[in-house]
Structure 1
Amino acid sequence: MKDIYLLLTKSDTFVSKAIYLMTQDSYTHISISFEENLQPMYSCARKYTYSPIPAGIRNESFEKGFYNKNQHIPCALYKLTVKKEIYYKAKFILESILNHSQDYKYNLMGLILCKLEVPYRRNHYYFCSEFVSEILAYSQAIELPKLPCLMKPSDYLLFEELECLYQGNIGELIKYRDLC
């Protein structure tokens, strides 16, 4: 058995605040990692710390960038334990996307339609939870209750298969992660 890690966050950026206003969800962003120390960790997010655009597939680092400068934001870390074959299949799907990461863009239209519960899938476009959900669905790591393009970060709070490892803020998580 192997573990896949999901980090849910809610920052105080304009995009996160706008998502929160539309959804009232506890968390507005999700990232995925295949390592206990969460590095590397990936999502579809901003490419630059101080600007929401451009956005695309990103390696989200605790040592530099957005999380390093925003350690106060709330987060929750979850673990999904899967069979080795599924773990490596999910990792392969991620690596296939990473090999062409420059071709992927942020799916703003999909994000808006997700709130309206209208499925909208575009090739090479993702929002964060669509990105993570597609990896998990296509690898059969977890059975989703809806299409990846309709999944929100907060939907992951409802999965019994996920074990909550931590709830707090990013700064404390970084300290916790360093103990792993």
Structure 2
Amino acid sequence: MKSIYILLTKSDTYVSKAIKFVTKDTYTHASISFEKNLQPLYSFSRKYVNLPLPAGLRIEPLTAGFYKKYKEIPCALYELKVEENVYQNAKEEVETMMKTSNTYHFNLLGLFLCKLNIPFHREKCYFCSEFVSEILSRNKALLLPKEPSCMRPNDYTKFSELSCQFEGRLQFLIQKIQSSLYIKESL
């Protein structure tokens, strides 16, 4: 068995506050990683720390850029155990998408329709939780209760197949990851 990791966050940006106000959800952003240290961490997110748009397919470093500025935000890290072939297929799909990341765009209309539970997907356009959901669904890693374009980050807190590995402030998750890697390396 291999592990796929889903990181849920809620930042203090205006966009995140607006999403939280409308949805009442605890978490407003979702990312996916295939490594225990969450690097690389993939999502559809802002390209510039201080601007919500433009946004697209990105690697989100935990110790630089957006997460460096917002390191005190609440987060939850979930682990999904999958078969080796499911893991490899999902990882390869994301890596292939990254090779042409400039051709992918943010699904702003889909983000609005998601709250209304109206499925809406455009080719090569995603919002964060739609992207994570599409990868997991297409590769049969997780059976979703609704269309990927209707999945919200908070929906991942309700899956029995996912185990919560951490819940708290991002800075403490980063410390936990760094200390566990250090302990492994020094053994």
TM-score of the aligned structures, taking structure 1 as reference length: 0.98
Give the counterpart letter for 2:79 in structure 1.
K
Residues 1:57 and 2:57 aligned together: yes
Residues 1:121 and 2:89 aligned together: no
- The unaligned stretches of length 5 or more in structure 1 are none
The alignment partner of 2:144 has SS state of: coil
Deviation at 1:93, TM superposition (A): 1.4
In 1: Cα distance, 2:118 partner to 2:6 partner: 25
Deviation at 1:133, TM superposition (A): 0.3
Q: Which residue of 2 aligns with 1:38?
A: 38
Q: Which residue of 2 aligns with 1:82?
A: 82
In 1: Cα distance, 2:156 partner to 2:111 partner: 16
CA deviations 1:123-172 (Å, max 9, x no partner) are: 11100000000000001000000110000000001100001000001110
The alignment partner of 1:81 has SS state of: strand
Deviation at 1:179, TM superposition (A): 2.0
Give the alignment of 1:12-161 within 5 angstroms: 12-161=12-161
In 2: Cα distance, 1:107 partner to 1:100 partner: 17
The alignment partner of 2:95 has SS state of: helix
The alignment partner of 2:136 has SS state of: helix
RMSD: 0.7
Deviation at 1:63, TM superposition (A): 2.0
The alignment partner of 1:109 has SS state of: helix
Q: Which residue of 1 aligns with 2:183?
A: none
Deviation at 1:176, TM superposition (A): 0.5
Q: Which residue of 1 aligns with 2:178?
A: 178
Give the counterpart letter for 1:66 in structure 2.
F
In 2: Cα distance, 1:6 partner to 1:179 partner: 20
The alignment partner of 1:95 has SS state of: helix
Deviation at 1:62, TM superposition (A): 1.4
Q: Which residue of 1 aligns with 2:185?
A: none
The alignment partner of 1:142 has SS state of: coil
In 2: Cα distance, 1:116 partner to 1:51 partner: 25
In 2: Cα distance, 1:50 partner to 1:118 partner: 30
The alignment partner of 1:61 has SS state of: coil
The alignment partner of 1:163 has SS state of: strand
The alignment partner of 1:71 has SS state of: coil
Residues 1:167 and 2:167 aligned together: yes
Give the counterpart letter for 1:52 in structure 2.
P
The alignment partner of 1:166 has SS state of: strand
Q: Aligned residues, how many?
A: 180
